[in-house]
Structure 1
């Protein structure tokens, strides 16, 4: 009888230890599952954000194409003056904060990318009317790389390679702040197209394209 009682106690202890180890294993598996779910959620979030960013960049390319078509359709004297209602400016607008990164600097003008009114005490430029590409809202602003508005032959503009300039100017240099340089032979100039795209989840993308026309 003593031997049987000892055997029963030993079996109970073994079952108790087995249950304890089983519970510990379940806790470890549960914690590992939570960590795996969090890892999957983080990966999905990163992939989703990259997808939105790629969509915004693709929409920016489409909007840039529209801006280039607009430039080609209005080539000539029309581009010598500002057309703020469509987001075109015949000067380089170097003091403009195109991306809104320096809002604290009151000396720099801003672009009304989201429309609306200009804040009090600020100088603002209008962007083009909004276009939608698959849930992405895009606008552009075009600036001619000249010091001021007017004919390229009369104002200081960036000179394309191979253009003739006055003696003392920088032949072929894209320096439209050089006061001695005037375009004499080739009337083509550079234009800068900046596109801003705002997509789902607050995704914002900027692209800049320099073209010669």
Structure 2
């Protein structure tokens, strides 16, 4: 009986093919690992950018609120009764999308798409590190004018003093409450809690790598 021996050349060919297959598998694994690492780095970077955008937006809110303090350009009820384009301020509530973002803020020119009117002409806030902030402030009243005259029927009010911010659950219409509007009829009655008109600050923040976020706060203002 004659025994057949494998050809050494054939053996070397099989080993070569097996080695190449292993190298291909290792290469695919390395590429997947690198992509996963890159994705993690990008995600971490974007989270860092968004955190920075949030911090800069909070600082911008403080600067905007200073305009409503005594002596500021919007420091009196009379001044707040009229819109001010130079400060991106609307004396009436702005139309918003289902998420509560004013439609004008979604445009590059701060134009209300429903009315075609420009809401503000103030320049964007440049916060450094490639961060730009675009904002609008709107009073939660259905029309311009002195809020003590407009009253609860045309303005959204908040009770219990000045709130630096708050959710919609803290808002209430005066007709749903036994309180009276600050400065309105019946103000100063014993036991009546002071009420303040609600204002909304909405900020659209732009950051590096095309990062974009929206921030919003509400507050009650003011005594005069």
TM-score (norm 2): 0.68
Report the Cα distance in structure 2 between the residues aligned to 1:46 and 1:15, rounded to whole angstroms: 47
Mapped pair 1:145 → 2:153: no
Aligned to 1:71: 68
Kindly tell me: are residues 149 and 138 of structure 1, through their superposed partners in 2, closer, same or farther at Cα, counting changes over 3 Å? same
Which sections of structure 2, spanning at least 5 residues, go unmatched? 162-169, 189-193
Q: Alpha-carbon deviation of 1:138?
A: 0.5
Q: Write the deviation string for residues 155-187 of structure 1: whole angstroms up to 9, x where unpaired.
A: 132232259xxxxxxxx9622798xx7533447
Q: Is structure 2 residue 52 aligned with structure 1 residue 55? A: yes
Taking the aligned partners of 2:174 and 2:202, their CA distance within structure 1 comes to 19
What is aligned with 2:118? 124
Tell me which structure has the larger Cα radius of gyration: 1
Deviation at 1:11, TM superposition (A): 5.0
SS at match of 1:208: strand
Matching of residue 202 in structure 1 with residue 187 in structure 2: no
Aligned-residue offset at 1:137:
0.7
Alpha-carbon shift at residue 45 of structure 1 (Å): 2.4
Q: 1:192 to 1:49 in 2, by over 3 A?
A: same
Gaps of 5+ in 1: 102-109, 164-171
Note closer, same or farther for the CA distance 1:195–1:111 as it changes in structure 2 (3 Å cut): closer
The 5-angstrom pairing of residues 157-176 of structure 1 reads 157-162=155-160, 174-175=172-173
- Deviation at 1:63? 1.4
- How many aligned positions are there? 191
Return the offset for 1:14: 4.1
Q: Specify whether residues 187 and 81 from structure 1 end up closer, same or farther in structure 2 by C-alpha distance, changes over 3 A only.
A: farther
Give the 3 Å change call, closer, same or farther, for CA 112–21 of structure 1 in structure 2: closer
Residues 1:191 and 2:199 are matched in the alignment: yes
Corresponding residue for residue 88 of structure 1: 89
- Write the distance in 1 (CA, Å) between the matches of 2:27 and 2:214: 44
Contact 1:140 1:194 in 2 (8 A): yes
* 1:154 Cα offset (Å): 0.4
Q: Counterpart of 1:212?
A: 220
Aligned to 1:133: 127
Quickly say closer, same or farther: Cα 1:42–1:187, change in 2 above 3 A. Answer: closer
Residues 1:116 and 1:89: Cα distance change in structure 2 (over 3 Å): closer
